[in-house]
Amino acid sequence: MRDLSAGPRVLLKRLRELMAEPLEPQERLDRIVRQIAQNMVAEVCSVYVLRSDSVLELYATEGLNKTAVHLAQLKMGQGLVGTIAASARPLNLSDAQAHPAFTYLPETGEEIYHSFLGVPILRTGRALGVLVVQNKAMRNYREDEVEALETTAMVLAEMVATGELKKITKPGLELDLSRPVSIEGNSYGEGIGLGYVVLHEPRIVVTNLLNEDTEHELQRLAEALGSLRISIDDMLSRRDVSMEGEHRAVLETYRMFAHDRGWVRKLEEAIRNGLTAEAAVERVQSETKARMIRLTDPYLRERMHDFDDLANRLLRQLSGYGAKLSAADFPSDAIIVARAMGAAELLDYPRENVRGLVLEEGAVTSHVVIVARAMGIPVVGQAAGAVALAENRDAIIVDGDDAKVHLRPVADLQRSYEEKVRFRARRQAQFRALKDVEPLTKDGKRITLQMNAGLLVDLPHLNEAGAEGIGLFRTELQFMIASTMPKAEEQEAFYRNVLKQTGSKPVTFRTLDIGGDKVVPYFRAAEEENPALGWRAIRLSLDRPGLLRTQFRAMLRAAAGAEFKLMLPMVTEVAELKVARELLQKEIERQSKLGEQLPRKLQFGAMLEVPALLWQLDELMAEVDFVSVGSNDLFQFAMAVDRGNARVSDRFDSLGRPFLRMLRDIVRAGERNDTPVTLCGEMASKPLSAMALLGIGFRSVSMASTAVGPVKAMLLALDADKLAEVLNAALDDAKSETSIRQLLVDFAAANGIPV
């Protein structure tokens, strides 16, 4: 074989010309393989393309029997070609037939060829096919020849990706690129979203593959690497990157990689083989990705992800832009697909067009997930491989109820989801029709239905859902999505904005509830063994009185002249409330001394989330204007089950005797003390458990905005006294073993109550 140093350049140039010519796809492929064979002095050159049924089909050949084209096929993992596709790695063999994976395909007539070099046709880490050259003589292909063939395969990847080969694909079959894929993840936000993929990290499409001037491209690469390194150093020296923690760790790794000789050498080699700097980065990135998909070690996978991110940054440096979809191209029903993203980035998208979010990573507590939930869009996280498998504008379904993502769904699946969505929409319309209906039970009990919120994006739901106010405003969310501690003025402006948007409807602000699973990155406390029982909420606020006073001040000023309610989370002893109230009093006095207007009316409340308060109910109620039960935490502490641990969180039933009796005691203490009692945990969001709450005497609840309609539909059909009678009797019957949940379900069914 002749020296190839000039070979790849000449070949790539020829291929570029072939790609530009107005040819039919088969003709173009045939000429491409002929060209490669000639250039590489190979007797055979063949292209196999991966179909959606995991079969690699021979699409073109120079040297093998032409009659085998579109007939010869191998399963993924079968034979040498199948092995290359499955492993996404090249095979370089001097005696192919001696390889254990060799499978003889008689129709091809390949038995006379001994040496074999096959490379995967890769795009964003996925094997779309295999490109092979063969020779009669037994020989080992040189490293630079392998490189050259891999580079050539990029051109073919483009051809497959553009969909050009569809025309020559047998009817009824699809290529792998358009294969429907279902991914199972975790549900982080309920609901169903149908739409089209928008990749969050713009995938820069490198169209200019071939370089005209190697030295110039090497120079461009060196410059881009230089600026990349500087930008990483800049990020590392920024003050808001704390001295330790994962942010710094990631950046440190990036820095290490950006100086990695092996990586840089590979990039330079690809340029010397004739690629532009961008194409070189893409090629090396594609290989890294292919390896990443197969890695099972989570640590190594994470490191490969870092390389991938770094390559994206480098591509952006080189191309000078981050090809975000322009507003005109942004689909009206977009499903954002990302590996991970910041909360602010999600808010940057046109809100009315975003129908769902798919993350390869994420957790229920990640900020972007909190924001997505506030926006009311379905979210599926931990969706492995979603980014690599999706292409911009692919059809996609996010099923947040079932924790699934369906990419390029088949028509039947699409239709059944469309039906589901229509059904939901009809129900939503029925609920919306109730929005101005007074929440009176059948026996005339007036129930207060409020909603929970925490971000400005929540607020439009207030009127849409017909909630009477905000029963729980989680102020920590503003802190959780910020990168630095919100200043006093920022807090004030935020609360002012909330009150402005809610108008005459009341808002109950809860002071900071951080700690536990609510992490604020810039407020790092020492590592705790048991964070749920640790330094959090009111405990932290009382130890940092400056923080609490700042928050009180911001609230008082924002609510000047208006009515407002505030409450403290995670109270354990009444004494804590007294201290908090003194701090509030100091702020009130300060405001009046300064001659500033005070709120017209202020109510001071406590959340009941710690069981110890159950034995201080009368003292508690003497101290506060109202009590709000945080059933999520109360249940966690009462039953000793971590609310974030899926293994135990559903082990006990919140509709069981112990918990309902506990809640009933609280309601009775409220009646005894004439103190309003409400409940703002998740229990209020499910019609069946909300019904139980009304049965034990609650007359006010606060819930997710989406639950207001369904809960109202339930109560309009409920005779609360009739339920109270049955439910109280069952709760008081120490001997009974009937399940309370079953009793509630039966009651609802017998009385035609929608739950």
List residues binding Mg ion (CB under 5 A).
Answer: 609, 630, 633
Residue 30 binding partner per list Mg ion, ligand PEP, none, with a CB distance cut-off of 5 to 8 Å that depends on partner kind: none
CA distances from 620 to 570, 612, 624 (A): 13, 11, 7
Q: How far is the CB of 656 from ligand PEP (least distance, A)?
A: 17
d(CA 144, CA 147): 5
Closer Cβ to ligand PEP, 123 or 474, answer by number: 474
Among Mg ion, ligand PEP, none, partner that 680 touches (CB below 5 to 8 angstroms by kind): ligand PEP
Largest Cα–Cα separation, the chain: 99
CB of residue 712 vs ligand PEP: minimum separation in angstroms?
20
Residue 609 Cβ vs Mg ion, minimum distance, rounded to whole Å? 5
Closest separation in Å from C-beta 513 to ligand PEP? 6
* Contact call for residues 278 and 318 (beta carbons, < 8 A): yes
C-alpha 346: how far from its chain's center? 10
Secondary structure of residue 399 in the 3-state scheme: strand
Residue 654 touching ligand PEP (CB under 6 A): no
Residue 145 interacting with ligand PEP (CB under 6 A): no
Q: List, edge to edge, every strand of the sheet that includes 126-135.
A: 73-75, 55-62, 44-50, 126-135, 115-123, 91-93
Please give the Cα distance from 403 to 504 (Å, whole number).
38
Looking at the Cβ atoms of 118 and 681, the one nearer to ligand PEP is 681
Nearer residue to ligand PEP within complex by CB, 506 or 681: 681
Find the distance separating the first CA and the last CA of the chain, reported in whole Å: 76
Q: What distance in Å separates the CA atoms of residue 247 and residue 459, rounded to the nearest whole number?
A: 32
Under the binding rule (CB under 6 A), the answer on residue 458 touching ligand PEP is no
By the rule CB under 6 A, 605 interacts with ligand PEP: no
- Candidates 5-13, 295-303, 459-467, 624-632: pick the segment binding ligand PEP (CB under 6 A): 624-632
Shortest CB 474 distance to Mg ion, Å: 9
Q: Where are the beta strands (DSSP E) in 39-83?
A: 44-50, 55-62, 73-75
Pick what 474 binds: Mg ion, ligand PEP, none; C-beta below 5 to 8 Å, kind-dependent. ligand PEP
Shortest separation between residue 506's beta carbon and Mg ion, angstroms: 20
Choose between 77 and 676: whose C-beta lies nearer to ligand PEP.
676
Residues 681-710 that bind ligand PEP (CB under 6 A): 681
Tell me: does residue 470 bind ligand PEP (CB under 6 A): no
**Choice between 145 and 476, CB closer to ligand PEP:** 476
Residue number, 632 or 739, with CB nearest to ligand PEP: 632
In degrees, rounded to 5, the angle at the alpha carbon of residue 639 between the alpha carbons of residues 638 and 642 is 105
CB-based contacts of 190, cutoff 8 Å, min separation 6: 378, 400, 401, 706
User: Could you say which of ligand PEP, Mg ion, none residue 492 binds, taking C-beta under 5 to 8 angstroms by partner kind?
Assistant: none
Residue closer to ligand PEP, measured from CB, 285 or 678:
678
Report helix, strand and coil shares of the chain as percent, to nearest 5.
50, 15, 35
The CB density around residue 426, as the number of other CB atoms within 10 Å, is: 10
Distance (Å) of CA 198 to CA 310, 332, 492, 724: 21, 11, 35, 51
Select from 459, 461, 464 the least CA-distant residue to 498: 459
The footprint of ligand PEP on this chain (CB under 6 A) covers a number of residues equal to 10
514 vs 558 by CB, closer to ligand PEP:
514
Pairing between strand 91-93 and 126-135?
unpaired
Q: How far is the CB of 633 from ligand PEP (least distance, A)?
A: 3
Find the part of the chain contacting ligand PEP (CB under 6 A) among 78-86, 129-137, 460-468, 630-638. Answer: 630-638
Enumerate the β-bridge partners of residue 601.
Answer: 563
Query: Is 633 an interacting residue with respect to ligand PEP (CB under 6 A)?
Result: yes
- Residue nearer to ligand PEP on the CB measure, 165 or 472: 472
How many CB atoms within 10 Å of residue 651?
9
Contacts of 101 (CB under 8 A, 6+ apart): 78, 79, 80, 82, 83
In the bound complex, what is the minimum distance in angstroms from residue 188's beta carbon to ligand PEP?
A: 15
Shortest spacing between CB 521 and ligand PEP, in angstroms: 18
Q: Which listed residue (336, 397, 472, 574) binds ligand PEP by CB under 6 A?
A: 472
**Cα separations in angstroms, 214 against 315, 317, 400, 499:** 18, 18, 49, 62
Residues 511-540 touching ligand PEP, rule: CB under 6 A, are 513
Among 662, 680, 693, 696, binds ligand PEP (CB under 6 A): 680
- Do 18 and 10 form a contact (C-beta atoms < 8 A)? no
Q: How many CB atoms lie under 10 A from the CB of residue 707?
A: 24
Q: Cβ of residue 271: shortest distance to Mg ion, in angstroms?
A: 56
For ligand PEP, which residue of 178, 632, 649, 673 counts as binding (CB under 6 A)? 632
> Is there binding between residue 474 and ligand PEP (CB under 6 A)?
yes
Q: Which is nearer to ligand PEP, 127 or 370 (CB)?
A: 370
The rounded distance, in Å, linking the Cα atoms of 58 and 76 is: 13
- Nearer Cβ to Mg ion (288/628): 628
CB of 684 to ligand PEP, least distance (A): 9
Q: Are 599 and 562 in contact (CB under 8 A)?
A: yes
DSSP characters for 312-359?
HHHHHHHHSS--PPPGGGS-SSEEEEESS--HHHHHTS-GGGEEEEEE
Please check whether residue 607 is in contact with residue 571, taking contact to mean a CB–CB distance below 8 angstroms: yes
d(CA 207, CA 158): 9
Among 150, 201, 458, 609, binds ligand PEP (CB under 6 A): 609
* Pairing between β-strand 626-629 and β-strand 677-679 as defined by DSSP bridges: parallel
Does 62 help bind ligand PEP (rule: CB under 6 A)? no
Residue whose CB is less far from Mg ion, 176 or 633? 633
> Helices 261-272 and 143-161 sit at what angle, rounded to 10 degrees?
80
- Closest alpha carbon to 203 in 91, 304, 122, 282: 282
Q: CB under 5 to 8 A by kind: which of Mg ion, ligand PEP, none does 472 bind? A: ligand PEP
**Beta carbon nearer to Mg ion, 181 or 364:** 364
Nearer to ligand PEP, 203 or 518 (CB): 518
State the minimum distance, in angstroms, from the CB of residue 342 to Mg ion. Answer: 25
Pick from Mg ion, ligand PEP, none: which does 312 bind, CB < 5 to 8 A by kind? none
Nearest distance, CB of residue 702 and ligand PEP, angstroms:
8
CA distance 519 to 479: 9
Choose one: 158-166, 243-251, 628-636, 705-713; the region binding ligand PEP (CB under 6 A).
628-636
Give min distance, CB of 678 to ligand PEP, in A: 11
- Among residues 191, 362, 515, 630, the one that binds ligand PEP under rule CB under 6 A: 630
Pick the piece of the chain touching ligand PEP (CB under 6 A) from 289-297, 595-603, 612-620, 626-634. Answer: 626-634
* Residue number with CB closer to Mg ion (8 or 515): 515
Amino acid symbol at 121? I
**C-beta closer to ligand PEP: residue 403 or 514:** 514
Q: How far is the CB of 679 from ligand PEP (least distance, A)?
A: 8
The binding site for ligand PEP (CB under 6 A) comprises 472, 474, 513, 609, 630-633, 680-681
